[in-house]
Structure 1
Amino acid sequence: MPSLESEIEGIIETFTNNLKQRKFKGSRDLALNSVQLWKKIIGQMKWQNARELMDTIKKIGKDLAETAPSETVIGNMTRRMLKIVRDEYAMLQKGKQEESDLQDSLQKILTADESDSDYTKNIPLLKPAIMEHIGEFLAELESSEIDISAQALEHIHANEIIMTIGYSKTVSAFLKSAAKNRVFQVIVAECAPFFHGHQLAADLAEARISTTLIPDSAIFAMMARVNKVIIGTHSVMANGGLKAVCGTHTLALAAKHYSVPFVVCAPMFKLCPEYVCSLDQDGFNQFVSPEEVLNNDEGKLVSKVNVYNPIFDYVPPELVTLFISNTGGNAPSYIYRLLSELYHPLDVQL
């Protein structure tokens, strides 16, 4: 494995520090910065063949993923880089992009054989081909929010009542896009104790969308009047389940009870080929200070209890009706197929 130049080490260290200090504004910003980081590393690093490059990408990607275990986007972008390297190598060596062929059968995906591709052949055109592919992928990431918003009129109809929870830039853009041609109402659950719903309600009201802010305790009572639930999510797991802001599971259960469609706006970079283990809440979840839930003024009580304040909820796939991504709408049962197109089976474990 080639030694990392000091300049590249500096770039990685800066990214890691920003990650630890939570300087990235949402998953999309983190995804863009991750890909730009990989573009610099692949472009500046000295490597002889695809195997050398892939080994280095896996090593760095694993270290970055361990820095922030709850940020699945980092691992997703690492796997996409590996898939890009594999695709370009296959295309240049055999003249076809066989790994991304949409006509591949499920059997071929499951029995993928790498014996004829050891990736050690030196191909001079590989580096420029990879850099061009990464540039196209960056453009796709940048336009993902616009592509999802463009589908808004297909899902939101006149005089509907829409419910959502917390704050999501993608959902905000989606609703604003629909409001240009439709008149509808939005009910926003405030998402205590972080109250991110206040920001979304303010944004929608500013865009002249009829908006009502409700406490989380009123979700079930209001659901009977709702036509559709539209939310954003942090990650989409391999089985079609969600890793979403705390309170989303409550919203999904209420929607299921009243048979209200539960729609999730999630760009493709949020699709994660990992499953949730009920025993691994530390790896899946992220816990913050319980100050907002139980403050220090209640001194005697605080000394006698343990208070957990998780950021995320897990929502099982059976509670989700539809995923809207930048490539179109899909049912939760189709997620496995999308994952097989996005990532190579051998890269699922970094």
Structure 2
Amino acid sequence: MASDLPPPPGLASFRALLPSGPVEKSIEYLISLLRRRQIRGPKECALATAWLLRKVVSTTRASEPGKLITRVQEVGKKLVDAAPRELTVGNIVRRVLGAIREEEENRDNGSTPDTTPGGSIPPTPAGELPAPPIPASAMYSSRDASHSPARHNTGRPVLLSQQTGQPPLRPQVTSMFSIISHPTMRHSSGVSSPIRSGSSTPMATSQVLQPTTDFRAEILEAITEIVDELDQADELVAGYALEHIAPSETVFTYSTSTVVQRFLLKAASKRKFTVIQAESYPNSHKRTHATTMGVKTTDDEDELDSDAFQKPLIAAGITVLLIPDSAIFALMSRANKVIIAANSVLSNGSVVAAAGSKALVKAARFHRVPVIVLAETYKLSPLYPYDPFEYVDYGDVQKVVEWQDREMITGLSAVRNPVSELVEVEDVDLFVTNLGGVSKGFMYRVVRDQYRDEDLEL
């Protein structure tokens, strides 16, 4: 029966293998899927990477965070080598490494409160109570205090899924009413109190504060929050649509993207405007027609999944003009703004987008039309575009020249079909992320705040 057949190789089959398959088999399977491009796209690659690293962390028997960092780095390098142009793979690896390093710092801070060089609590004057030690969860590391003001004292970097409405965790505070029950005030058998009069042997540091929680549980919780962020990122970005699309405007967009579709549908709930949609031939024109008019295709490569295929734009009351790519420059003068989606955003603000986006952006610059880029935070990469062609990806050349027409290209050295290209930051006016609007001049700071300095180079 058809229902008994295994799912085809892809994100669904990989997720089905994860619970029961060995971790090494899961790693090799994901590497093969990435190399064969059976899993592609920023969100799909990010989800698969987060799921795999969650299993790697849960199955790795490491007593110290340093060993777990080495293990995650080994797996991350293999995944990045399998899909070097899917930058979200490396982004998720860096986020997980940052969570582990933060937990490692918390363990170090928690096991060594403010002590003298001899490793003991300094004596206090007679008649005075010693200051209770600050809980590890309420400590700022030196790096957080100077470089990451947006982080809370939760023991790891604040993940952007906290923007979904969940109240941030607050630092623990010892009340004056509970000072007697504080660990430094307790008297237990065989342990001398640090404030007992006449006591010449202060309590050892390890007896004052001992980390008892499993550090892997905290890291698994951090990875779960990353997965939640990936699932909710599109909706968070779409929540800012009403701030950027005014009534009776004409919005120019290119190709098709889930985040752009949700952004326009959110604005259409309270705005009446017009959308000019370029079809993005030959890589995404079938998908663009499906997103615009709701006609699903039968081509497996271009078929929309249930998550992306929501509601066609014309069914939401949006006036849509679907045009060929050759008409972009002619109709750009009628547009009020251009909205495109990013595959990745590099450290200087340059955007890796669908092939053909650069022609759209250049036309907008000529006509003085502002360009808005939608970029979820998991797409922000710390890499720098030293070589712009390094981030150009290529697809099936038969979409440009079919095999039966090969005689037409006699004399050509090569035929290429780019599916992505680099758009310079100078051609972008505004970024819209999970955090809201970000100017291009401040984008480098937002990118760097997502990762630790130690993990910029995997």
Corresponding residue for residue 200 of structure 1: 291
Establish whether residue 264 from structure 1 lines up as the match of residue 373 from structure 2.
yes
CA 1:12–1:178: 2 relative to 1, 3 Å: same
Match of 2:220, SS state, is helix
Q: Which amino acid aligns with 1:336?
A: Y
Per-residue displacement from partner, 1:261-319 (whole Å, max 9, x unpaired)? 1001110000011122337x3x4222122222223444443221121111111100010
8 A contact 1:323–1:329 mirrored in 2: yes
Establish whether residue 53 from structure 1 lines up as the match of residue 96 from structure 2.
no
Match of 1:260, SS state, is coil
Corresponding residue for residue 119 of structure 1: none
Match of 1:342, SS state, is coil
Partner residue of 1:325 out of 427, 433, 452: 433
Corresponding residue for residue 277 of structure 1: 386
Distance 1:62 1:328 in 2: 32
Establish whether residue 289 from structure 1 lines up as the match of residue 396 from structure 2.
yes
Distance 1:39 1:213 in 2: 42
Match of 1:229, SS state, is strand
8 A contact 2:393–2:421 mirrored in 1: no
Displacement, 1:17?
2.8
Establish whether residue 343 from structure 1 lines up as the match of residue 432 from structure 2.
no
Distance 1:276 1:143 in 2: 28
Corresponding residue for residue 237 of structure 1: 346
Establish whether residue 101 from structure 1 lines up as the match of residue 144 from structure 2.
yes
Per-residue displacement from partner, 1:179-225 (whole Å, max 9, x unpaired)? 00000010011111121432332221233321111111111111100
Corresponding residue for residue 314 of structure 1: 422
Establish whether residue 176 from structure 1 lines up as the match of residue 265 from structure 2.
yes
TM-score by length of structure 1 reads 0.88
Distance 2:424 2:439 in 1: 13
Establish whether residue 152 from structure 1 lines up as the match of residue 259 from structure 2.
no
Partner residue of 2:35 out of 17, 20, 25: 20
CA 1:102–1:243: 2 relative to 1, 3 Å: farther
How many residues of Structure 1 are paired with residues of Structure 2 in the alignment? 329
Distance 2:212 2:80 in 1: 30
Larger relative helix fraction:
1
Percentage of identical aligned residues: 32
CA 1:44–1:183: 2 relative to 1, 3 Å: same
The within-5 A match list for 1:110-121 is none
Corresponding residue for residue 225 of structure 2: 136
8 A contact 1:88–1:97 mirrored in 2: no
Distance 2:443 2:142 in 1: 18
Distance 2:36 2:314 in 1: 31
Establish whether residue 43 from structure 1 lines up as the match of residue 132 from structure 2.
no
Flag structure 2 segments of 5+ consecutive residues without an equivalent.
Answer: 1-20, 110-135, 150-210, 294-311
Displacement, 1:21?
3.8
TM-score by length of structure 2 reads 0.68
Higher normalized contact order (CA 8 Å, seq sep 6+, divided by chain length): 1
Match of 1:101, SS state, is helix
